[in-house]
């Protein structure tokens, strides 16, 4: 007998329909898997056989099953096909009703005792099932809350193969999971714990101002200063002034983390902008993504959040240059022999490094022991094209004695975030009905429309281009920064003072320490 079960596979952060076709014929009890299965899928035949046995089903020995995973030209990975394969074998031997099979998508990993274990990528699978017109999706209990984030499809959580059989015999016998994802999202955001506060950082008013501009307009930033000046401390407090995620953004981010298998307990909705800080020993695959089984890398896991590279100059230059394309296109494409995957990578880049190998070049207290050749070699690890894509270049100087010993009267992250939110709201109103973009992401057309300057400012910018040797890309980035500063200062048009401050942040930071 022939049976067809609908399931799903992943390609990048999206899912597609896979038909698990099972045909039962005479043989010696063998299960043959075809359709480009990987090792973990091929091993499912042993898990399936033991799980069926644990449910007290009698599987005829004089039978042979051919299981085809269609379409046959795409590689199938992971253990999520265990459950649909088991259902197909039972249905093809008349041990399970096929009346309701076409209504559901089925995903899940099986234990040898018939238990159903959670899998990765359930959220995109639920979206694909809804788009394909499925009535519901049968999935592991631990993945149920994740799938319930999608409206318009019934969620049937199961914890054992026997429950799946019971459900397919009588769909009303298993309770559906009903949830209000937007209400859960709002409640979680209300209960969100506060992180490190800018109030704890003494001095560094210039760096704090630059981080405020960075958060308000999504401008990449590089901080350079001697050891112990507070670069890492400042970067760790940047998430506290970023605008909160909307529900749609949280859903997109949860989808990405679901594919990567990074959701806590498989049920969490991501409510905070990610802050990723990989070590400089990370591999290129760890940063960009890929591998034998392609997975998102650090730059994709920082999507809609912050990618902080501390000790930036300790990263291999080849690794850093892989950031150039994602910084422009907000995505990363991984090409393999059988497939090409694209992951989102719209992140705010934050870098921090010392001015030289010893760390004290240009310092007011400590003497620098580096030669000019050593300093030049140190800075040559950062390519010109990468530095050109970093909007704000900030010098984080050593704190003076009076700053260290004085009582802190700095602004809190809450105060700074209020200004950031007002600037973001101005940007939303400016976008109108068009999709929202931060000032740092404006297209060329939007730049011409929203970043107009008067003749005096134009002359100032022209002098800056000549004096600093700014490229065409840097010229546009100065205008975007000036637009953000004007929004923070509640200026309808870009003022000369806004532009002057923006130009100050584009001064090559390397030359400040020569």
Decide: helix, strand or coil at residue 233: helix
Residue 105 maps to which CATH number? Answer: 3.30.230.10
Among 47, 40, 21, 24, residue whose Cα is nearest residue 78: 40
Q: Is the pLDDT of residue 179 over 90?
A: no
One domain, residues 135 and 205: no
Q: What is the pLDDT of residues 87-106, one digit of tens each?
A: 999 888 888 888 888 889 99
Q: pLDDT tens digits for 230-257?
A: 899 999 999 999 999 988 999 999 999 9
Q: Are residues 106 and 168 in the same domain?
A: yes
Same domain, 158 and 42: yes
Could you tell me which residue, 313 or 63, shows the higher pLDDT?
313
Structural domain contains residue 463: no
Query: How many structural domains does the chain have?
Result: 2
Q: Which of 435, 464, 495 marks a domain boundary?
A: 435
Q: pLDDT value at position 266?
A: 52
15 within a domain of the structure (yes/no): yes
User: Would you say residue 289 lies in a domain?
Assistant: yes
> pLDDT at position 275, please?
95
Residue 332, CA distances (Å) to 131, 325, 389, 477 in order: 25, 7, 16, 22
Q: How far apart are CA 53 and CA 56, in angstroms?
A: 5
Which of 386, 419, 435 marks a domain boundary?
435
Residue 214 in this model has a pLDDT that exceeds 90 = yes
Looking at the structure, tell me whether residues 313 and 198 fall in a common domain.
yes
Contact 450, 494 (CB under 8 A): no
Q: Does residue 440 form part of some domain?
A: no
Does the residue 442 lie in any domain?
no
- The residues, any chain, with a CB within 8 Å of residue 298's CB and separated by 6 or more, are 276, 278, 282, 286, 287, 307
Q: Are residues 166 and 194 located together in one domain of the fold?
A: no
Instruction: Please check whether residues 213 and 137 belong to one and the same domain.
Output: no
The predicted model scores a pTM of 0.88
Report whether the peptide linkage leading into residue 306 is cis, meaning its omega lies within 30 degrees of zero: no
- pLDDT band for position 17 (cuts 50, 70, 90): very high
- pLDDT confidence band for 220 (50 / 70 / 90): very high
Measured distance CA(487)–CA(420) in Å, rounded = 9
Please give the pLDDT value at position 394.
93
User: Does residue 385 sit within a domain?
Assistant: yes
Give the pLDDT of residue 405: 67
481 within a domain of the structure (yes/no): no
Query: Based on the domain organization, do 207 and 66 belong to the same domain?
Result: no
* 144 shares its domain with 258: no
Domain that holds residue 317: 190-435
User: In percent, how much of the chain has pLDDT > 70?
Assistant: 95
The domain boundary residue, chosen from 414, 435, 456 = 435
Q: What is the mean pLDDT of the chain?
A: 88
For position 294, what pLDDT does the model report? Answer: 80
Q: Is the pLDDT of residue 267 over 70?
A: no
- Contact between 62 and 28 under an 8 Å Cβ cutoff? The reply is yes
The CATH number of whichever domain residue 206 belongs to comes to: 3.40.50.300
pLDDT digits (tens, 9 = 90+) for 351-375: 999 999 998 888 888 888 888 899 8
- Residues 144, 217, single domain; the answer is no
Average pLDDT over residues 203-222: 92
**Any domain includes 446:** no
Task: Say how far apart CA 288 and CA 319 lie, in whole Å.
Answer: 9
Domain match, 315 and 198 both: yes
């Amino acid at each position: 007998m022939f049976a067809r079960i609908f399931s799903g596979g992943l390609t990048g952060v999206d899912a597609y329909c896979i038909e698990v076709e099972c045909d039962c014929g005479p043989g010696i009890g063998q299960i043959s898997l075809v359709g480009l299965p990987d090792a973990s899928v091929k091993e499912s035949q042993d898990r399936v056989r033991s799980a069926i046995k644990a449910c007290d089903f009698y599987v005829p020995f004089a039978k042979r099953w051919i299981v085809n995973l269609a379409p046959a030209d795409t590689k199938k990975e992971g253990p999520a096909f265990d459950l649909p394969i088991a259902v197909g074998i039972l249905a093809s031997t008349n041990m399970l009703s096929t009346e309701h099979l076409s209504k559901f998508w089925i995903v899940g990993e099986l234990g040898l005792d018939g238990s159903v274990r959670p899998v990765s990528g359930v959220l995109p699978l639920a979206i694909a099932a809804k788009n394909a017109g499925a009535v519901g999706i049968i999935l592991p209990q631990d993945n149920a809350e994740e799938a319930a984030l999608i409206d318009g499809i019934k969620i049937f959580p199961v914890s054992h193969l026997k429950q799946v059989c019971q459900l397919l015999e009588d769909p009303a016998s298993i309770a559906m999971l009903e949830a209000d994802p937007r209400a859960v999202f709002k409640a979680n955001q209300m209960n969100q714990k506060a992180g490190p506060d800018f109030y704890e950082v003494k001095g560094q008013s210039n760096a704090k101002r630059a981080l405020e501009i960075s958060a308000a307009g999504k401008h990449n930033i590089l901080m350079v200063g001697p050891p112990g000046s507070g670069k890492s401390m400042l970067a760790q407090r940047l998430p506290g002034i970023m605008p909160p995620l909307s529900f749609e953004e949280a859903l997109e981010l949860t989808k990405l983390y679901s594919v990567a298998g990074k959701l806590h307990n498989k049920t969490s909705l991501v409510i905070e902008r990610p802050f990723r800080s990989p070590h400089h020993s990370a591999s290129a695959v760890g940063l960009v993504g890929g591998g034998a089984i392609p997975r998102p890398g650090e730059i994709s896991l920082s999507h809609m959040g912050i990618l902080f590279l501390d000790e930036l100059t300790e990263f291999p230059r080849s690794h850093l240059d892989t950031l150039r394309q994602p910084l422009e296109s907000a995505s990363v494409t991984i090409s393999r022999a059988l497939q090409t995957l694209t992951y989102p990578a719209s992140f705010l880049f934050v870098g921090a490094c010392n001015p030289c190998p010893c760390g004290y070049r240009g310092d007011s207290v400590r003497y620098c022991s580096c030669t000019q050749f050593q300093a030049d070699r140190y800075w040559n690890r950062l390519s010109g094209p990468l530095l050109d894509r970093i909007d704000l270049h900030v010098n984080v100087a050593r704190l003076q004695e009076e700053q260290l010993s004085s009582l802190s009267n700095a602004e809190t992250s809450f105060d700074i975030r209020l200004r950031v939110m007002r600037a973001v709201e101005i940007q939303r109103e400016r976008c109108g009905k068009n999709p929202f973009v931060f000032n740092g992401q404006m297209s060329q057309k939007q730049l011409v429309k929203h970043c107009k300057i008067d003749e005096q400012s134009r002359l100032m910018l022209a002098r800056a281009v000549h004096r600093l040797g700014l490229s065409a890309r840097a010229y546009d980035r100065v205008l975007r920064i000036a637009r953000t500063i004007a929004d923070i200062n509640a200026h309808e048009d870009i003022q000369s003072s806004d532009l002057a401050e923006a130009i100050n942040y584009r001064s090559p930071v390397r030359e400040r320490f020569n």
